Each structure stands twice: as structure tokens, then as C-alpha cells.
Amino acid sequence: MKKKLIVFDLDGTLAETKQKVSVEMKQLLKDLMINHYVSIISGGDWPQFEKQLLSNFDWSDINISSFVLLPTCGSKYYQFINNEWTLVYSESLSVEERQKIINCFEDTLKTFDLNVSRTWGPQLEDRDTQITFSVLGQQAPASEKEQWASKNNHLRKQFRDMLEVELPEYSIRLGGATSIDITRRGIDKAFGIRKLCEKLNVTTGEILFVGDALFPEGNDYPVKEMGVVSIQVNSVSDTMKVIETIFTYQ
């Protein structure tokens, strides 16, 4: 457990889906930064990080140089430089690539029944470096997502498999309870971890990863696959227990 860098997923790990990180969790993260680098990597884009994590976050007593944020599965890298959050790199998809992916989603939806009776907001979101499809829409309540996933997650996997046939040059992973994330092949959370290693001068053996999608189809799985010690959590309370255990061994 004595690791130099602790990396967390966001939704389902540090916070409920699309909800703000609790005051208690923020304090645990700040305490972690005293002796560790801390990074958060998520399929969500930067505005989601701002809404869920950075709002009402007191930077006055935090080791901000130890904190790195990686939106859209690590295809973007943000660090606090010159008193502001700065985009260090972005692995953007071209306009043509993004349109190709969106067209593929729309065509596949015409022939595949996902058993959806209602959606909340658009299902497709263009995040520049990633296209994300949310089965019930981008603003669906967490309770609705969980209910759909408990009955229909096999349909999401089948839908993902169909997309893989049509888009073999892209990485297609399940994220959260109802979403599918598509990035350029090789641009996934393992890519983000490798970038962290380069920029923070740490090795994969010095990293602990905590996430809720470490199963083979999940968007956290590439991190486990590259050999990083990983802990599967099933709730935010699980994550708190992991952090408390880290404090015991630091």
C-alpha cells in the first residue's frame, strides 16, 4: 500500500454518477496529497470535473502541485500552473473522425433495441477527444441508470460489440452504468497513466489505482491490464475505506 501516486476514477468511485464529490471525500483527497501525488481520471470531460470536483474546493491548504486531472479517459491532461488549471495536452479527434463515430452510433441504433422508453437529454456527447454515448441520455438520474443497468447491461455489451466491428480503429469501452466511451485506439486510461509516469517521474510499480470499472469491458480495465496495482470498488464508501487504509500504511 506504500505507493507514490494514487489514481482514482470519478463517477462510482469518488462520487455518485454526475453528482458532486462530498465534503468528506474532498478532505480525504487533500489529506492524501500531503504524502502522495493524487490524480483523477474519468470518462467525463473538463466541465464535469469543474462541476463535480472543483466547485467549492478550498485550495489554500492543499499541495496543489501534487494534483493532476485527466478528463476523457486520459486523452486530456490538466495541471495547476500559474494559479490556474491549464490544459497540458489534448489528443483531439479530427472533425472527420468524430462525425464517422457519431454516424456509426446513429446507424447502429436504427437496428438495435436497447429497451429504452425514455431519455434525459441527448444520448451522444462530442467531447473533442472522445465521443460518449449515454443510453438514457446525459442528464439521466442515477436511480434510472442503475435500474436500467441491472436489467439490460447485456444489451449495452452487445451494442458495444457491434460498434467494435464497425469501428475497429478505435478503443470502445463501457463507462459508468449506462455509457460507452470511444477514443482513438491506444488512447485510454492506460495511455493517461503512462503520461502521468512521464510527467511525475514515477513508475507503474509506484501507482495504486482505484476504480469501479475494472472488469474486462470497463474503461478502467486498461490500467489493470498494464500491470498497475488496482482495487475494484463498488461504492463511494468503499473508496473511503481504501483511502483510510492508505493512511494506516503511509
Which domain CATH number covers 50? 3.40.50.1000
234 three-state secondary structure: coil
Q: Could you tell me the pTM of the whole model?
A: 0.89
Cell numbers describing residue 173? 469501452
Number of compact structural domains in the chain:
2
- Considering the domain architecture, whether residues 47 and 75 belong to the same structural domain is answered as yes
Read off φ and ψ for residue 63, nearest 5 degrees: -85, 80
For the beta sheet containing 179-184, the strands, ordered from the edge strand earlier in sequence to the opposite edge, are: 124-126, 131-134, 179-184, 170-175
State whether 193 and 71 are in the same domain: yes
Single residue among 184, 205, 239 that ends a domain in this structure:
184
Are 87 and 99 in the same domain? no
Range of the domain at 233: 5-91+187-249
Of the candidates 184, 207, 240, which is a domain's last residue? 184
Count of residues in the chain? 250
Burial of 155 from C-beta contacts in 10 A (0-12 / 13-18 / 19+): middle
Number of Cβ atoms within 10 Å of the Cβ of 160 = 18
Q: Compute the distance between CA of residue 106 and CA of residue 147 in angstroms, rounded to an integer.
A: 24
- Close Cβ partners of 213 (under 8 Å, ≥ 6 residues apart): 9, 12, 173, 174, 175, 176, 219, 220, 221
Which of 153, 13, 128 lies closest to 75 in space, CA to CA?
A: 128
On whether both 100 and 178 belong to a single domain, the answer is: yes
At 179, which CATH number?
A: 3.30.1240.20
- Report the alpha-carbon distance of residue 136 to residue 143 in Å, rounded: 11
Distance set, CA 8 to CA 56, 157, 160 (Å): 20, 24, 24
Of 79, 5, 93, the C-alpha closest to 46 is 79
Q: What is the pLDDT of residue 142?
A: 87
How far apart are the C-alpha atoms of 44 and 27, rounded to whole Å? 22
For residue 69, the model assigns a pLDDT of: 97
Could you list the pLDDT tens digit for every one of the 250 residues in the chain? 589 999 999 999 999 988 999 999 999 999 999 999 999 999 999 999 999 999 877 767 777 888 999 999 999 999 998 888 999 999 999 999 999 999 999 999 999 999 999 999 999 999 999 999 999 999 999 899 999 999 999 999 999 999 999 999 999 999 888 999 999 998 999 999 999 999 999 999 999 999 999 999 889 999 999 999 999 999 999 999 999 999 987 7
81 in the same domain as 17: yes
Residue 176 and residue 133 in one domain:
yes
Would you state the pLDDT for residue 1?
55
If asked whether residues 215 and 156 sit together in one domain, one would say no
Adjacent-strand bridge partners of 183: 171
Sign (positive or negative) of CA dihedral 152, 157, 161, 164: positive
pLDDT of 228? 97
| Whether residues 160 and 52 fall in one domain | no
* 20 and 99 both lie in a single domain: no
The span from the CA of 114 to the CA of 111, in Å, is: 10
Sign of the torsion formed by the C-alpha atoms of 19, 200, 228 and 179: positive
Residues 82 and 192 occupy one common structural domain: yes
Tell me which of 147, 164, 184 is where a domain ends.
Answer: 184
In this structure, the answer to whether residues 172 and 219 fall within a common structural domain is: no
Looking at the fold, whether 13 and 125 belong to one and the same domain comes out as no
